[in-house]
Structure 1
Amino acid sequence: MIKSVPARARRALPEARGAVKDRRLMTSHSFAAHGPLRGTIRVPGDKSISHRALMFAGLAVGQSRITGLLEGEDVLATAAAMRQLGASILRGADGKWTVHGAGVGSLLEPKTALDMGNSGTSARLLMGLIASHAITATFTGDASLSGRPMKRVIDPLMQMGASIEASPGGTLPLMLRGAQPAVPITYRLPVASAQVKSAVLLAGLNTPGITRVIEPVPTRDHTERMLTGFGARLEVGEEGGERIIAIHGEADLRPMDVTVPGDPSSAAFFMVAATLVPGSDLTIRNVGLNPTRAGLLHVLRQMGADITEVDARDVGGEPVADLKVRHAQLAGIDIDPAIAPSMIDEFPVLFVAAALASGTTRTTGLEELRVKESDRLAVMAAALKLAGARVEEHEDGLTIHGTGGDPLAGTPEGALVATRLDHRIAMSMAIAGLASRDGVRIDDTSPINTSFPTFMGLLAEAGQ
């Protein structure tokens, strides 16, 4: 049972009460059709890998170096938290990061609340990391993150012995007291979630014995790949069609150098933009193509996109290639819900692509989108309708009737879209603006900095 945050905890950590307030200055911006996207761009480092590189290096004994780290607000929240837990983390003038880890089992108790900002990955993975250490930490976040569900992580961590006192509904702010020693468990994921899987595996690092996670549906496997590289003893098998990951506890992680590939979720916006804007011929360099993350690439190709992989290679244990994207007319399809875990963050921009396709695109099995930074099904349906798209919202997905390649036609003054503090809504509707007759105005572009601080500059560069 999840306990409520006691009054004494709130008094002891007054910053937790104010942390849920949004602290950004709203910045609106208009996006309109312009010339083709051409040339070569490079998107920032993968956000999922950047988070994990900082955490795992922070648990290793010795010095690790990270090249290509995404320097967005979400990842910087992870860096700040790992510093509080005892890791030394420095950014060099050359953009490379150096981490001296604290060691598994040797984390320090943070002196103030860990402010996760807007980052669900930071919150859930760090909860797992701390859960098997004999320290206490309070987690806070902004208004958006404080509305997101944490019970899916709280439940298995409490089974392992952690004590967690959460806000009503199992949300942030919450206080976590780690178990020492924690108890190894075998946990079957009730929902496909790489964050929950990773939280349990991270808790298992400092837990005597073997902790197992059972995945009925495979999710992104960056944690398994990278933990193995850092020296964790980890076994991955399959039984009855389910994936089973076992981690041996009381691990000693060794330092390693990490090169972070380009984020496929960031590349997605430019893949769709170059596909939709006539005359485009854009190369996106160094894009991570991990099979558990490449769902959008497969779906766009099914719809008729012209995307070629160039110079396929391996970078730090992750498959990488340059993507050459040319304008193409898309056709609507019924999207297999089984592919959702490999492109869950890319559905907002896929909805934009579907709005310009010929025919109808149907999506199902996307209930998870309702508990992201915003309710992405409802917010994208409303935004696309404002921009002139024909959209039907269902409980678990959207049905979108495409224009056949004609520009979206909203209101003459241009649609004003409410992003609801969601970076992917803002960027997706910016791409919709490029394919619209009257343009799209975004009420607040500041959330983009959480994951893709160079988005606006790259969009201008590609359109010149």
Structure 2
Amino acid sequence: MNGINGTLIVPGDKSISHRAAILASLSTGKTVIDNFLFSEDCLRTLDAFQEMGVQITKRNQQVIVESEGPSKFLPAKNAIDLGNSGTTARLLAGVLSAMPFSTVIKGDSSLSSRPMKRVTEPLSMMGAKFKFLQRDGHLPMTIEGGRLKQIDYEMPVASAQVKSAVLLAALTGQVHVSVTEQTKSRDHTERMLEAYGIHIEDKNGTITLRENQVLHAKNIEVPGDFSSAAYWIAAAVITPGSELTIEHVGLNPTRIGFLNVLKRMGASIEIIEKLDAMNEPVGTIIVRYSTLNATSLEIDEIPTLIDEIPILALVATQAEGTSHFHHLEELRFKETDRIKATVLGLEELGADIQMKDDGMVIQGRTRLHGGVVKTFHDHRIAMTAMIASLITSGDVTVDDQDCVKISYPNFFEQLNEFI
């Protein structure tokens, strides 16, 4: 093909949309959320709060939330079904830990295979009680909330979801809490809390939220999702003749490790604008086809690009030399075993890639061919395969297109504009 050229706007940020829905529901008053991501995962978060009595209206790319705050939440009549959304499960667990009632949350088979103890352990230390109904450490589970107590929690591994669950539990329960990270994880929750006027302190890796703070409604604009933009950034970098402009993209420093690694590999990437929206840096990215060199990932980089590993692996197949991706154990516990799914998917297309216990080793530069990629119902594997199709010698198909709706409902529509 002749390259990926033009201007593109990606959908609203998935992580920020989740948090916008949660904080709006915890606020007193009316909130308008613009550019909300209407993906299956984010809709699960809205549905969960609707089941507890929050008034939520959805229209176009806008959500209107009218809430009287958590003191007016009602017990859900039935188990809250969170589908495949791990973010909803873990962040909601924090909120429900402070509720004066019990709630059952459940998920689909994929979510029910993912570990929950990493979040229930600190919440249990705060006073919440959890009962796993079928298999220890996995959904479905009952959360018995109530009065919480202060904790000073040291995170064993970097996890924005666990950190956020503890902070949301403290905010909802109006108690003091501190969370210490050895490696900084995504900070969307802290940034949004500060934009709401909540006093939160981050000092030497310890985040402190003080007691007895309440939220008042504040309108929110969600920037474009960097993780969604990453697919098009990769597409332009590896497809000859490309020059692509991506507008209104979130550029949170804890999210853009992918950009930093690509630049290290030799990618031509330019950020031409930087603005703040709800405490989040936002900009326009211009990316061009580039000659790339192999790279290795440092352990401190991993939290900043954990969702981009599959598409980065594809890029590495087009770089000169051998790329080493290690410290990726967390990927074994995503929607699927994402290390295995990435390796098998790229092998199907002719990549020279080896699976390791903690990651993968990729030999470039490799000519890729067509094939049928098994996605394991993982949206990021499906999108990676379809971006690969832009440079393969034959057609690429995936066994499940619908899984992409989890994070990027109009992905195939935008892809077809470039084919």
**TM-score band, normalised by shorter chain:** over 0.9
Please tell me whether residue 431 in structure 1 is matched to residue 387 in structure 2.
Answer: yes
Q: Work out the number of aligned pairs and report it.
A: 418
Identity of aligned residues (%): 42
The answer (yes or no) to whether the contact 1:104–1:205 under 8 Å persists in 2 is no
1:150 corresponds to 2:116: yes
Answering whether residue 408 of structure 2 is matched by residue 452 of structure 1, we say yes
Q: Distance in 1 between matches of 2:307 and 2:227?
A: 7
Match of 2:8 among 16, 22, 41: 41
Query: 164-173 vs 49-58, which deviates more?
Result: 164-173
TM-score normalized by structure 1? 0.88
Asked if the contact 2:148–2:175 (Cα under 8 Å) also holds between the matched residues in 1, the reply is no
2:222 alignment partner AA: V
**Amino acid across the alignment from 1:216:** Q
Letter aligned with residue 339 of structure 2? L
| Higher relative contact order, structure no. (Cα contacts within 8 Å, ≥ 6 residues apart) | 1
Please list the CA deviations of residues 345-388 of structure 1 after superposition, one character each: whole Å capped at 9, or x if unmatched.
Answer: 01110000001111111011110011000111111111111110
The match for 2:279 is 317
After superposition, what is the alpha-carbon deviation per residue over 1:182-233, rounded to whole angstroms, capped at 9, x for unaligned? 1111111111100000000011013354111111110110100111222323
1:53 aligns with 2:20: yes
Q: How does 1:299-378 map to 2 (within 5 A)?
A: 299-378=261-340
1:196 aligns with 2:162: yes
The answer to whether the 8 Å contact 1:214/1:245 transfers is yes
How far off is 1:102 after superposition?
Answer: 3.3
Residue of structure 1 aligned with 2:252, choices 290, 293, 297: 290
Cross-structure match for 1:8: none
**Alpha-carbon distance, 1:407 to partner:** 3.0
Runs of 4+ in 1 over 4 A off after TM superposition: none
- 2:371 alignment partner in structure 1: 415
Q: Distance in 2 between matches of 1:40 and 1:149?
A: 40
Deviations 1:143-180 (A, max 9, x none): 1111111110111111111111113241111111102x
Partner secondary structure for residue 249 of structure 1: coil
SS in 1 for 2:139: strand
What pairs up with 1:121-140 in 2 under 5 angstroms? 121-140=87-106
Contact 1:140–1:146 (Cα < 8 Å) also in 2: yes
Query: Take 1:208 and 1:372, find their aligned partners in 2: how far apart are those partners?
Result: 31
The secondary structure found in structure 2 opposite 1:245 is strand
Q: Which amino acid aligns with 1:438?
A: G
Q: Which of 169, 184, 200 is 2:150 aligned to?
A: 184
CA RMSD, Structure 1 to Structure 2 (Å): 1.2
Pair 1:276 & 2:238 matched? yes
Deviation at 1:282, TM superposition (A): 0.9
In 2, Cα distance between equivalents of 1:108 and 1:173: 20
Q: Deviations over 1:80-138 (max 9, x none)?
A: 0011122111123x532211123133321111111111110000000001101111111
| 2:52 aligns with one of 69, 85, 103 | 85
CA distance in 2, matches of 1:256, 1:206: 17
Bigger shift: residues 229-238 or 369-378: 229-238
- Out of 173, 191, 204, the position equivalent to 2:140 is 173
Contact 2:97 2:144 in 1 (8 A): yes
- Residue 97 of structure 1 corresponds to 63
Q: Which amino acid aligns with 1:220?
A: R
| Counterpart mapping for 1:225-236 below 5 A | 225-236=191-202
Query: Which residue of structure 2 lines up, in the alignment, with residue 118 of structure 1?
Result: 84
Alignment match, 2:342: 380
Distance in 2 separating the partners of 1:330 and 1:143 = 39
Greater CA deviation, 310-319 or 188-197? Answer: 310-319
Q: What does residue 27 of structure 1 align with?
A: none
Counterpart position of 1:257: 219
Q: Distance in 2 between matches of 1:357 and 1:255?
A: 48
